[in-house]
A and B are shown apart, each in its own frame.
Chain A
C-alpha cells in the first residue's frame, strides 16, 4: 500500500496525461467536424400547404487549389410542419449538419409575413446557436426563390442582398435594416409592431457573374441573373404584415429617425427637377399630450444635380435657391404625412409611440392604450436648410 502511495502525484499526473491523450486521439464528444457542417449563410422561409419551407444557402469551401476569391454556395430546400422539421430534413437529405451560427440573413416570403411572421421566426428565436444579430427581411413572392436566385453582382444571392443593408445604404436613407432581435423586441413589446425591409428582385442581363461556375452540386442550368432592391418597407402589427411603405415613405421614416447622412431626394425649381443631397439630418418623433405625435424633421441639403443643362457659373455656384428649399420642405412634409397616414391606417406603431407612452407613465398608458393609434394626431415640423 505504502509503495502505491509513493510518488502518487507523479502517478496521478501520468494518469491524467493518459486520459487527455486518450481523449485527444479518440475525441468524439458530440463534436461535429467542420467537413460535416453545413455553414448556412442565409435562410429563406416560406409558407407551404403542409406548413413551412426552408431554403438554406450553404457555403461550400473552394478547396486549397482555388485561384479566385469569392464564396461558392449551394441552396437546399426542405419542407416540414415546422422550421425545425425543415432543418432536420436538410440534415437527413444531405448528411450535412446545418449550423446557423453564421447565418446572417433570414428572408420571409410574402405568404409567410401575411400570417404571423413570428411563427416563422420562432425556431430562430429559440435556437441558442442562432445569432440574433442576423438581418431580417421580407420579400415579394417566395423567399426560397429569392435565396436560390443567381445574383448579378455577387457569388451568392445572400451576399448580394446583404449589400443592400450595408452601413452606406442605411446612411442613404433608402433602406431600413432590422435584426432578428430588433424585430422580436418590437413584437414582444407593448407596441406589438415592427417593420422589415421588403426585397424585390428583378432580372438583369450581362452581370458580373456571367462567367461564374454553376453552383456546386447542381447541374449547370441557365438562370437569369438578378438584382435586388429593398427600398420599400413592410409594416407589421402583431406579427402580421399589414402594409407597405413606398420608397419615399421609407426615406421619410429614415429621415425622422435621424439616420440619413448621404441620401438624395428630388425637388423642383420652376417645374424642373433637381436632386438634393442630405448632408445633415436630425429627426425625431415624440409623444405629446392629446395624444399627439410630433414628427420633427430637420435636414441640411446641397444641390446634387439639375435635370436641365446649366451654365458653368451655376455649376460652380451650386446654389440652392429659396424656391428649391421651399419645394423640398413641402416634398418632405408630404412624405412624412403619407408615412403617418399609412402607418395609422394599417395599425402599425412604427415609431413605437405606444411604448414611449408606457415608459413615460404607467397611469397614462392604462388610460390611453385602447385604440391609441386611432386617436393619435400628428404635428409636423419640417425644416430644410441649404448648406452654405
Chain B
C-alpha cells in the first residue's frame, strides 16, 4: 500500500477527528462547565492544533516513530518506549469505545439490547487492526465526505432550534468550571497522538504542517459550533443529553411528518466514527509491529488480541461506564496531555537515522 497522501491526512483532521467529539463530550462539558462549555473546548482545540502541527512537521523526516525512538534512545529503550506508547493508545482507545457502545445501544436500539449486538464491532476492529495503518488514507477519502455530509445535515436540522443566548453569561462557571471542563475533555483530545504512529507513512508535501493545523482548527470550529447549538437547544438540561449529535436534530419540523430523517445523517457520522474509534487500537497494534516487525504473522494475531481484549473490557465494564468516565476525566486525565501534548513536539527532537551513501 502506498503512503498516506497529504490530502487524506487533511481530510482526517478536518472531518473524521471532529466526529469523535460529538457524542458524549458536549454533555460532559455541560455538566462541569455549564454554559461555559466552549472555553475548555477551545483550549483543547488550540493545544491540539499546535500538537498536530508538530507531528506533521516531524512527518517531514519520513521516518517511523519507532525508528526515531530506537535511534535516539537505543534499540532496547526505543522498543520499550514504543511499547509504552502502544499501551497508552490502548488506554486511550477505551473511552471512545465504551462511549460508542453506549451510543449504539441507545440510538440504534429501542430497548437495551444484549451486549452481543455490539460484539460485532470487535470483529470489525480486529479486521481493521490487521490491516496496515497506511491503508486508512483511502478510507478517509470516502469517510470524510460522508462525515461532513452527516455533520452538515445534523447541524442544519438543529441550528434553527437553538437559543444561542443560553451560552451567556460568559464565565458563569468560573475558573473551577473551566479547569474541570478542561480536565474532563482531555480523554477526547488525543488526535496528535493518533498521528504519531503514522510518522513515516505520510507522504510529506510542502506546507502540510500548516495546512494540517488549519484543517484541525476548522474541524475544531465545527465542534465548537455544534457544542454551541447543542447547549442552545438543551440549555440547563444539556447534561442529561448523553448522545448529543443523535438528539439535536429531532426538533426540526420535518421530522414530525417524515419520521426521523435525521437518522440518515446520524448513520453517516456513525460510519465515520466506526473508523475513528478503532484508530487508537490500530495505532497501538502498529506501534508493536513497528518495534518487532513480522507484520504478516503478528498483525492478525495482535488485531485479534486487541479485539478480544476490548470485548472483554466492554463486558467487564458494561455497567460501570460512569466509573470509567470518572477515572478518565477526574483521576487519570493527566496521562493524556503527557502523550498528546508533550510528546508531539518531542517527536521533532528525536534523532533521525543517518542515511547511508
Contact = CB atoms under 8 A, between A and B. Distances in A.
Q: Do A and B bind each other?
A: yes
Contacts of B234: 181, 185
Nearest to A100: B110
A66 B325 CA distance: 51
A129 B117 CA distance: 18
Nearest to B240: A125
A128 B114 CA distance: 17
A30 B113 contact: yes
A358 B169 contact: yes
B236 A16 contact: no
Given A16-B123, A189-B236, A32 B168 contact: no
A188 B237 contact: yes
A29 B250 contact: no
B117 A359 contact: no
Majority secondary structure of chain B interface residues (helix, strand, loop or mixed): helix
Interface string A347-388: 000000000001111100100000000000000000000000
B43 interface: no
Contacts, number: 61
Interface string B337-353: 00000000000000000
Nearest to A16: B123
Contact of A29 (B113, B165, B237): B113
Contacts of A97: 111
Interface residues of A, number: 28
B169 A185 contact: no
A106 B203 CA distance: 58
B46 to A, nearest CB: 25
Contact of B236 (A185, A359, A360, A362): A185
A31 interface: yes
Contacts of B235: 185, 188-189
B106 interface: yes
A129 B110 contact: yes
23 contacts: A16-B123, A23-B116, A29-B116, A30-B109, A30-B113, A30-B117, A31-B109, A99-B110, A99-B111, A101-B110, A128-B242, A132-B237, A133-B250, A133-B255, A184-B237, A185-B235, A185-B236, A185-B237, A358-B169, A359-B165, A360-B168, A360-B169, A362-B171
Interface of A: 16, 23, 29-32, 97, 99, 101, 125-126, 128-129, 131-133, 179, 181, 184-185, 188-189, 358-362, 365
Given A185-B235, A359-B168, 6 more contacts: A29-B116, A30-B114, A30-B117, A133-B255, A185-B236, A188-B236
Interface of B: 106, 109-114, 116-117, 123, 165-166, 168-169, 171-172, 233-237, 240, 242, 250-251, 255
